[in-house]
């Protein structure tokens, strides 16, 4: 799942691998196109800013609320 790859991104970042090398390393082990460099760069930017949480942050979208009574 996505969190498993994020653990790998953090590992590669802590191992001082750049995003291109990390993408290559992960794709060699898990299959071509498992991850792309752009996504890894985004996660590296988070790590570099001090955020090592591996969860996605809310993107400002409102949560959908469905009320069964209304349906």
Residue range 28-53, pLDDT digits in tens: 999 998 999 999 999 999 999 998 88
Rounded distance, CA 61 to CA 70, Å?
A: 22
Q: Residue 43: is it exposed, middle or buried by C-beta count within 10 angstroms (0-12/13-18/19+)?
A: buried
Is the confidence at residue 20, as pLDDT, over 90? Answer: yes
Beta-carbon-side half-sphere exposure of residue 59 (alpha carbons within 13 Å) = 1
pLDDT tier for residue 62 given thresholds of 50, 70 and 90: low
Report CA torsion sign: 7, 13, 16, 22: positive
Average pLDDT, the chain: 89
Cα angle 47, 49, 54 (rounded to 5 degrees) comes to 35
């Amino acid at each position: 799942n996505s969190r498993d790859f994020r653990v790998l991104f953090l590992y590669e970042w802590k191992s001082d691998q750049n995003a291109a090398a990390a993408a290559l390393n992960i794709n060699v082990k898990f299959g071509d196109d498992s991850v792309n460099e752009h996504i890894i760069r985004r996660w590296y930017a988070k790590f570099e800013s001090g955020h090592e949480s591996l969860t996605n942050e809310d993107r400002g979208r409102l949560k959908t609320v469905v009320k069964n009574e209304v349906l």
